[in-house]
Amino acid sequence: MKGGSSAGVMGRRGLLLASLAAGCAGPETPAGGMSPRLVEVAPGIHTVSGTLPPFDPRHPSVDLRLPGGVTKPPLLILVHGGGGARDQANAMALFHAQGVAVLGFDAYRLAGLEREAQFWIRHVTYEARQRMIYAAALGAYRLATMLDSVDTGRIFIHGLSNGADVVANLAAVASPAHVRMVFAEGLAGAGLGLPDRLSVPVRAVFGRLDNYAGGSATDWRWSRRVPCRLNMAGFDGPPGNAARCNAMLNAFNLAESPEQWVARQRAAGADIDTWFYDDAAHGIFAGPLRFLTVEWPGRTAPATIGATEVTRQKLLQDMLAVIRA
């Protein structure tokens, strides 16, 4: 694990990380199983088979940065999307500069699989990406609750794209004694599905121009309903809508959209809301606003990404207001 300002935990890196490693396993722990491997399930499309390893806080992709001169700062766990750790690189720097401890990782590298970002984005199923990200994110959360260098009662989690669906599921298993709020930016509503019950507050975040991977330029991500066949049956996580809508059950029906899921959670009494941002698309912290199209296997799709600097600063300040409250 690498770190920023080397105070607290990083000064005792070897001893602390060795003691924490045993408690940071994700939902799947090797027990003589096969190592993770890519399996082609359709031309150019892969899933991941094998047993995901425990979360290893000593892995070089695990990045804990502590702000200088701050005692027991709040911690923001940044969970990447389909492209790997690069997705959250800007956010890591922005929040760390604001006096917030940040923790990031690369779930694919933690699983022992090294590929370029575009391979993961275009040639791997939603469920495979999200299973790896969930296992790593759950391990990172468990690590965070044991750190003596941060305020473990003020942990926040942000997930982008595939990572948004992952952190929505984490919001069903995280303890409110540790996690104050989860920010799920650019929910897909596909892969692992979304949980039926939440344990901690959630804010769904969308840029008003987010049409990423849609069927048209106005196929907005928050209202998109994808085929149930894109969901995984038997996800080793909290109960959710994928149990009723997956490749084995109702495969040709449409899944619940992110906005429908938010409305269902709100009706059930959950602390949940949606934050919309103008002049923004997919990945508000990722960079400038760009109107792109991307070649996916078998189709071309819109992929508007980024945001204006004004909007990026607006989301930053909105999140900091929650983190500093």
The β-bridge partners of 227 are 254
Residue 22 is encoded by which pair of tokens?
Answer: 């045993």
Amino acid identity, position 292: L
Report the alpha-carbon distance of residue 17 to residue 20 in Å, rounded: 5
Q: What is the pTM of this model?
A: 0.91
- The alpha carbon torsion through 252, 253, 258, 262 (nearest 10 deg) reads -150
Report the alpha-carbon distance of residue 206 to residue 172 in Å, rounded: 21
Say what the pLDDT of residue 110 is: 97
The β-bridge partners of 2 are 63
Q: What is the mean pLDDT of each run of 10 residues along the chain (325 residues)?
A: 47 38 46 82 92 95 96 97 94 98 97 92 94 97 97 98 98 98 97 97 98 95 96 91 96 97 98 98 97 85 96 98 97
Say what the pLDDT of residue 180 is: 98
Say what the pLDDT of residue 19 is: 37
User: Which residues does 110 contact at the CB level (< 8 Å), separation at least 6?
Assistant: 53, 55, 56, 59, 61, 62, 132, 135, 136
3-state SS string over the chain? CEECECCHHHHHHHHHHHHHHCCCCCCCCCCCCCCCEEEEEECCEEEEECCCCCCCCCCCCCEEEECCCCCCCCEEEEECCCCCHHHHHHHHHHHHHCCCEEEECCHHHHCCCCCCHHHHHHHECHHHHHHHHHHHHHHHHHHHCCCCCCCCCCEEEEEECHHHHHHHHHHHHCCCCCEEEEEEECCCCCCCCCECCCCCCEEEEEECCCCCCCCCCCCCHHHCCCEHHHCCCCCCCCCEHHHCCCCCCCCCCECCCHHHHHHHHHHCCCCEEEEEECCECECCCCCCCECCEEEECCEEEECCECECHHHHHHHHHHHHHHHHC
Say what the pLDDT of residue 197 is: 98
Say what the pLDDT of residue 160 is: 98
Helix 126-144 with 162-173: angle, nearest 10 deg: 50
Residue 217 is encoded by which pair of tokens?
Answer: 């330029």
Say what the pLDDT of residue 3 is: 56
Q: Given its phi and psi angles, is residue 188 left (phi above 0), alpha (psi -120 to 50 degrees) or beta? A: alpha
Domain 2-324 has CATH 3.40.50.1820: yes
Say what the pLDDT of residue 10 is: 38
